[in-house]
Structure 1
């Protein structure tokens, strides 16, 4: 079994358990590959979260702590990676790039290059629209929509345009939670099907496919997927959406079918765990989605190259994936 995206309470404020506990759980569950991908540090005060500011840390102190934590994470991850474990779980070291804005993307690119001997790959994701976080809480999501002129089509185009800039600059091997914007998307939000304007009239978003509703939005998604296909990246099936009670993982079926058509169907699996209880979470639901909604013929995972300096995507037939011992041991309980 594999996961290409994880976090811990040691190195991010919204994590729960120590990195050692998270990785010990991955070993206990006999993961074949488990990737350690703490967040790239943010360097501007406007992108700090309330949980990162307390009586011990003002803005400059909080930024300095993010830098220290990232350095400590890389050192800690190396120790875990190089340490034998009873399940022979392969730990790979990556980093998640939040892509707050173009400056943050450029900063992330430099920091990855500076640590190329340690960082083996990146998870490229988008967490902001108009410099406002869209996965922190409902009020921030609403504020991001308001900053898009209260127009959902404009909101989505801004998201996918920033995602495209991230892809062009970083070419991440793993593209994280492709449609994260749906986390706080109100299902009863009403939208004009022609213009994208939100208001008291219009059609509930629960009745439409946002990706297929507007040609411009679908074109932006296809552009991004074709670029990922061009440089050889993969889209993660991220089960954190399921543990947060969304009906589908990231990405949803509307995006997933476009991945099959325009990106070679290259999917990897991730739990995006932030603590022990989330390791391998909702994987059985993800298996059902993979088999019966996307009808995939293969699944991909990251493996080290022979020199152990780089990683590459490997594919396994879906029959082999479906017969993994993980499903017998943990499929019904996670």
Structure 2
């Protein structure tokens, strides 16, 4: 067969395989177009309009973005979100890594504890928000009760503006189990030979952890940090349920006013859908910028078997 014939046969085979392949991925493509791509594009249009859901959108250009610069609650909610993220993400990763290291040494019991750590992740976020008010109640909450056993006076977690966000951070550790499972899988992929060689050289557990474990799982750690950062910037349900869902004004609502909550209020409470769309695009840009910074920083910190990223 000539070269032209071989090329023609190859194209014919690819054409026969193309349509069946498209049929298999068509449900995903349709779902992506309907539930992701179209809402994304339409929100970009709405960000340039004044839209209250009831009447037709009115084009206002960049007025919504100018309003963002003038709105003091934008800076407050972004500051609250950034504060929460800077504390929550490192603490979440450190606790998950510590638990994963313990599980790796648990032997046959690791399966039970892995399941036990993961189960709280299945708790509905609304229930977690209610649980927060019960556990962190400043007068009769369980957390302050435990602190009292050690002679410590617990703070007013839910009413003191200085302690609202730390309380939310601590409550977020309730769902650390999913990260524990991911890191445990990464730990079990570290070659045992590296640990054996380190033990022969007399390396301590701390040295083995810092010189072998952390570099070898740095790719997974980086993935967890990026995903947790995006999730922290979008945190909503627990804080909204605890401080806004009931309409109770006795709590320090502004201290728990995260950006996603303020966006939700503008969209569905005040029906400022155009303004909320502009806020959503600002959040997208902020998360994108932080993710790009993390990707650039990972080139020095993340190790891959084929070399550094």
TM-score of the two chains, using structure 1 as the length reference: 0.21
Q: Which has the higher helix share?
A: 2
- Largest Rg, 1 or 2: 2
Question: Which of the pair is proportionally richer in strand?
Answer: 1
More RCO (CA 8 Å, sep 6+): 2
TM-score, normalised to structure 2, is 0.22
